[in-house]
Amino acid sequence: MTVRVRQVHLLNVERCQPEPAELWDAVTEQQLTDWENEWVPELLKAIERLEREGIESRHWPQSSHWNWRKKVEALRGMLASPGFSIVCDGLTQGMMIVDTVKKRCRIDNQKGKPLVYVEFVENAPWNRRELCDSPRYRGVGSILMRAAIELSVESEFGGRIGLHSLSQAHDFYAYLWHDGPWRRF
């Protein structure tokens, strides 16, 4: 499999400076290994901490049951379901799987037109404000959303994308829509 790698930048929160990163147009074995060896233990630690602090389980990460290996293996080789990932500091910082076939636009003036539908998108646990006091990197979600929009443009879908967000992520998408880089498209 040929992976296209593009240079991007994430914001290193501690240094308050941009740091070079890579946007891959695939989720490879390297990402799945990072997920198993780095993400899952970190996520479990964060959940244990939330539990100790008496946070109700409905406030725990809603994506914590996602098994990226199963998802990627089920979709391997499928043209309709490309994946993307961001690598920075030698580690996977975010992953996304989109669908280009099964969903269509619903709003009246675009009804029935094709779009890129974001099936799954997740940030590494150490970048999530709800899981750690000082996230390492910012910009992962925005770059992945931009990748979905660029795929939509390349596929001649006019930049149209769609998703159903987990309720914990509503604020993020509201930010992108009203104030964020989304406005440029």
Partner 1 sequence: MNTRKTMTLNLTEAEMQVLGSLSEKKDLSKTALLRQALRMYQLIEARLENGEKLFFEDEKTKEKAEVMML
Query: Taking the complex as a whole, how short is the minimal distance between the CB of residue 159 and partner 1, in angstroms?
Result: 12
111 binds partner 1 (CB under 8 A): no
Question: Which residue of 63, 155, 165, 168 would you call a contact of partner 1, by CB under 8 A?
Answer: 155
Rounded to 10 degrees, the C-alpha dihedral 140/33/116/77 comes to: 160
Question: Which residue of 53, 56, 108, 156 would you call a contact of partner 1, by CB under 8 A?
Answer: 156
114 binds partner 1 (CB under 8 A): yes
Residue closer to partner 1, measured from CB, 55 or 78: 78
- Provide the greatest CA pair distance for the chain: 50
Distances from the Cα of 159 to the Cα of 29, 148, 171, angstroms: 29, 8, 22
28 binds partner 1 (CB under 8 A): no
**Of 50, 72, 52, which Cα lies nearest the Cα of 61?**
50
78 binds partner 1 (CB under 8 A): yes
Query: Taking the complex as a whole, how short is the minimal distance between the CB of residue 93 and partner 1, in angstroms?
Result: 23
5 binds partner 1 (CB under 8 A): no
Question: How far is Cα 120 from Cα 97, in angstroms, rounded to an integer?
Answer: 5
3 state SS for 28-56: CHHHHHHHHHHHHHHHHHHHHHHHHCCCC
Q: Which residues are at the interface with partner 1 (CB under 8 A)?
A: 2, 4, 25, 78-81, 100-102, 112-114, 154-158
